[in-house]
Structure 1
Amino acid sequence: MTRYLGLWLRFLHIFVTCTLACLGYLWRRAWAGRLGPEQVELLRGEALARLLQKLGATFIKFGQILSTRPDLLGPGFIEPLARLQDAVPPAPFPAVRRVLDDEVGADKERELIAEIDETPVAAASVAQVHRARLRTGRVVALKVQRPDAQRQIERDLSILSFWARLLDRFETVRMLSLPGAVERFGEALHGQLDFCREAENNRRFAKSFAEVENVGVPALIDELCTRRVLCMEFVDGVKATEPEKVGGDRAKLARLGGEAVLKMIFTDGFVHADLHPGNIILTPDDRVVLIDLGMVSEIPSDLLRPWVETFVALSQQNGAECARLFYIYAPTVSGTDYRAFERDVVGFLGGLYDKKLGEVEVSRAVSGMMNILRRHRVQIDPSFTVVNIALLVAEGLGKQLDPSIDLVPLAMPYLSQAMLTAPPGRAPFREVPSAPRD
């Protein structure tokens, strides 16, 4: 009974908050006067971001995931959603200690851990991180799941699923595939609740980067890793959110970051799915360390070759081939006029590139293509959006560290190797329609 009462009270809170947010948006829209389409979209995006921030951590994470789908949402939505911060007040340390005792065992904890800083260095919706020192003297980061995380996430997912099914009845919203998005979001969050999965991801990345100079992930302390506790080396350095504080060889760090992303995509097919500057640490000895590895995306092996061919077409300014590949491998194309789609792709790439291949700007190419795909209702495989976000982060961070860096020359060896080793691509969903006769 208490569970259902809590669920309905939360539902009522969400309903009232959404209603007030809609009224607030209408008031701002009325006072804004005449606006262009892009300004109206930005106003709506900012209103949605404010709403999700008020609704709390689960909804903030949902907004962050929506921000990785530029093929579905315009820039006016993407930019405000990408700025959402999953930061919440920390749980009291006695509650954190109880989780540690339940998971690790009080005796083992005292045997291995000399001291724990009671003030967390980071606190989010699923877990918080404490600095600690082992009996050996090694400084580590203890990631401990919040005591109430499971209950809160289950409750909010139930409500999100209800709203998604309700909104999916409207034609204007249906293309967003909200029920499916909520289902995938729930799977991702449940995965984040099991730290054994994150530990396995960590080991897989560690193996992948074992032979790569100065790129890696924090080393795990296996004796202190459980389903709700993760212990790893504490990495001293600067988060990539503050590139101006980075010392050392900035050009080298920019190159290492770019090559790490290219390797994940085109060599391993195993990509950090929550890659943003806050999850990249740049160390004083010129290392790039990836953290927060709970969310990953595996590129289907039969999609690797089509995506490589698409990136090659993009880099070579081959608009016709690029349009064809996007179109035939898109799971859905809702009433797309292929010839109009092709003209837009050819025109966009023709106006974007300089004659020299080395002057291609990857971020503009990817962002522009996502806008065209969304406008023509060409819905691509979700794994491709993870690849796009990773490339955008790599180039954005690289340009801040070294304005002269160019991802295209860096990518060519990876693309060439992938073309040689990738398995045959999957069968296309459709063929390009024949050109109308004069």
Structure 2
Amino acid sequence: MVLRRQVDLRNEGRALQRFTENFHHGKLRIEFPKVIAFNRRVLCETFEAGDHFDAMLEKKEKSKESAEVRHKIAVLGAQGFLQMAFVDNFIHGDLHPGNILIRFNEKNDQHLPKNPLQKFMDKLRWLLRRNSVDESREPTLVLLDAGIAVSQTPENVQRFKKMFKYIIENRGYEAGQFFLTYEANRQKCRDSDAFCRDLKALVDRARRDSFHRTINVTSVFNEMFSILWKHRVLIDSSFTSVMLSMMVLEGIGRTLDPKLDLFECAKPYLLNVFFE
């Protein structure tokens, strides 16, 4: 089904249009190729200049001067994904390094109208500066290949937010009870109390370890999947897809900034559930 949707390029064209609209009025410097025209077999979009993200990951030089730039890029990627997951409910489902470009623009000038000469000069400046580090410039991420896009039901979005809330607030037992709100899980889970206690132990351990380092989303989710399987607790497939995408994103971000904490980044997006 996923491959069939990717072959029909109308889906990617519509997804690019929706992503562009979702991020057009926001403060995040995240962009997508602009769609010119599309049909089932052909998609025409703008060329986007930038350095491939995987090239940056392969660089072994990690000078002190570039640490702030890498931190900005990691946080920007995290914020972009969290907006997709918690605000727009429309998530790029294929965010690997090969689908991400990085470019640097002057501060506060990206939304100003420009004539062809100004655009040419921007590209020329980009070519001259691409191998240098200038922390006065702000990174922009360009996300490509939007053929796979994931949406959840509104109910699942709220459930996903609540799961984050319980982990952040160190309420692992309640997280277990939250998973058991599905009727099918109440019927299949053999020992509800043991399941909730296992999740409580996981969250307690993650929060305890966070005193020494940031919470590792990948480790938490990996162990959570094991606990869910052990107790035969089901979760929606779209829920799983978002969790897996977040794990991939964290791996990319932590390559640039080992201190990246997705749970901390998520707090501004969870305000509506913190007061429930």
What is the correspondence of 1:17-416 to structure 2 with a 5 Å cutoff?
186=1, 188-212=2-26, 213-222=28-37, 225-242=38-55, 243-245=57-59, 249-285=69-105, 286-329=139-182, 331-332=184-185, 334-354=188-208, 359-416=214-271
Query: Which structure has the higher relative contact order (CA within 8 Å, separation 6+)?
Result: 2
The structure-2 alpha-carbon separation of the partners of 1:299 and 1:228, relative to structure 1 and needing over 3 Å to count, comes to same
SS at match of 2:208: coil
Do the aligned partners of 1:330 and 1:380 also contact (CA within 8 Å) in 2? no
The structure-2 alpha-carbon separation of the partners of 1:220 and 1:370, relative to structure 1 and needing over 3 Å to count, comes to same
Do the aligned partners of 1:320 and 1:345 also contact (CA within 8 Å) in 2? yes
SS at match of 1:283: strand
Q: After superposition, what is the alpha-carbon deviation per residue over 1:288-319, rounded to whole angstroms, capped at 9, x for unaligned?
A: 11111111111101222222111110122211
Q: After superposition, what is the alpha-carbon deviation per residue over 1:124-168, rounded to whole angstroms, capped at 9, x for unaligned?
A: xxxxxxxxxxxxxxxxxxxxxxxxxxxxxxxxxxxxxxxxxxxxx
- In the alignment, the residues of structure 1 paired with residue 198 and residue 163 of structure 2 have an alpha-carbon distance, to the nearest angstrom, of 16
- In the alignment, the residues of structure 2 paired with residue 206 and residue 336 of structure 1 have an alpha-carbon distance, to the nearest angstrom, of 46
Q: What's the CA shift for 1:273?
A: 2.0
- In the alignment, the residues of structure 2 paired with residue 352 and residue 397 of structure 1 have an alpha-carbon distance, to the nearest angstrom, of 20
Provide the residue aligned with 1:79 in structure 2. Answer: none
SS at match of 2:247: helix
Q: What's the CA shift for 1:417?
A: 4.1
Q: What's the CA shift for 1:413?
A: 0.7
Do the aligned partners of 1:240 and 1:397 also contact (CA within 8 Å) in 2? no
SS at match of 2:91: strand
How many residues are aligned here?
233
Moved more, 346-355 or 401-410: 346-355
The structure-2 alpha-carbon separation of the partners of 1:338 and 1:411, relative to structure 1 and needing over 3 Å to count, comes to same
SS at match of 1:288: strand
Q: What's the CA shift for 1:419?
A: 6.2
The structure-2 alpha-carbon separation of the partners of 1:413 and 1:362, relative to structure 1 and needing over 3 Å to count, comes to same
SS at match of 1:414: helix
Q: Which amino acid aligns with 2:69?
A: D
Do the aligned partners of 1:277 and 1:393 also contact (CA within 8 Å) in 2? no
Alignment TM-score, normalising by the size of structure 1: 0.49
Alignment TM-score, normalising by the size of structure 2: 0.76
SS at match of 1:209: helix
- In the alignment, the residues of structure 1 paired with residue 260 and residue 146 of structure 2 have an alpha-carbon distance, to the nearest angstrom, of 26
Structure with the greater alpha carbon radius of gyration: 1
- In the alignment, the residues of structure 2 paired with residue 410 and residue 361 of structure 1 have an alpha-carbon distance, to the nearest angstrom, of 12
Do the aligned partners of 1:308 and 1:419 also contact (CA within 8 Å) in 2? no
SS at match of 1:257: helix
Do the aligned partners of 2:165 and 2:273 also contact (CA within 8 Å) in 1? no
Q: After superposition, what is the alpha-carbon deviation per residue over 1:382-429, rounded to whole angstroms, capped at 9, x for unaligned?
A: 111122122212221211112222222211010114668xxx9xxxxx
The structure-2 alpha-carbon separation of the partners of 1:280 and 1:330, relative to structure 1 and needing over 3 Å to count, comes to farther
- In the alignment, the residues of structure 1 paired with residue 207 and residue 183 of structure 2 have an alpha-carbon distance, to the nearest angstrom, of 25
Considering only aligned residues, what root-mean-square deviation do their CA atoms show, in Å?
2.5
Q: What's the CA shift for 1:252?
A: 1.2
Q: Which amino acid aligns with 1:368?
A: E
Do the aligned partners of 1:352 and 1:365 also contact (CA within 8 Å) in 2? yes
The structure-2 alpha-carbon separation of the partners of 1:299 and 1:233, relative to structure 1 and needing over 3 Å to count, comes to same
Provide the residue aligned with 2:121 in structure 1. Answer: none
Q: Which amino acid aligns with 1:342?
A: C
Q: Which amino acid aligns with 1:210?
A: H
Q: Where does the alignment leave 5 or more consecutive residues of structure 1 unmatched?
A: 1-185, 425-438
- In the alignment, the residues of structure 2 paired with residue 281 and residue 376 of structure 1 have an alpha-carbon distance, to the nearest angstrom, of 41
Q: Where does the alignment leave 5 or more consecutive residues of structure 2 unmatched?
A: 106-138
Do the aligned partners of 1:299 and 1:383 also contact (CA within 8 Å) in 2? yes
Identity across aligned pairs (percent)? 33
